[in-house]
């Protein structure tokens, strides 16, 4: 079991991802914006953050930069509908280790676990 933070502002998507990862045995906490992601990460113990890049208050790019600047060394994976190479490169430059495209597919959990196993 891995403790995961999901930062996602779309309630339907966050409920679906949480359910799917919970069924795989992971513990998943959910926040709805980048500021909450920063606050919860710095106060918690997460092995993985799944970060939407387009959220209110602070977007995922800025939240990731803040976390890296504050010393968070865990795995951060962008989960984004922006899969153009420039957008994925921007996520990596922000400090994300990898990205998974939305809409998420049937293999989402396998992708997440493969990234965790590589880390």
Give the domain CATH number at 77: 3.40.50.2300
Predicted local confidence at residue 1, as pLDDT: 84
β 3-7/48-52 pair status: parallel
Burial (CB < 10 A; 0-12, 13-18, 19+), residue 61, is buried
Report CA torsion sign: 80, 86, 90, 93: positive
Q: How many domains does the chain have?
A: 1
Predicted local confidence at residue 80, as pLDDT: 83
**Ranges under pLDDT 70 in the chain:** 82-88
Q: How far is CA 63 from the centre of its chain?
A: 11
Predicted local confidence at residue 37, as pLDDT: 98
Predicted local confidence at residue 85, as pLDDT: 56
Predicted local confidence at residue 90, as pLDDT: 78
Full residue range of the structural domain in which residue 46 is found? 3-118
Predicted local confidence at residue 119, as pLDDT: 73
């Amino acid at each position: 079991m891995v403790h995961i933070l999901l930062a996602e502002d779309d309630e339907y998507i966050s409920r679906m991802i949480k359910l799917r990862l919970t069924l795989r045995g992971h513990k998943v906490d959910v926040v709805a914006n980048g500021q909450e992601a920063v606050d919860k990460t710095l106060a918690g113990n997460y092995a993985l953050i799944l970060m939407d890049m387009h959220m209110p208050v602070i977007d995922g790019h800025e939240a990731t930069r803040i976390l890296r600047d504050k010393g968070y060394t865990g795995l951060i994976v962008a989960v984004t509908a922006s899969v153009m190479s420039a957008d994925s490169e921007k996520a990596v430059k922000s400090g994300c280790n990898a990205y998974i495209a939305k809409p998420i597919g049937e293999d989402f959990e396998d992708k997440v676990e493969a990234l965790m196993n590589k880390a």
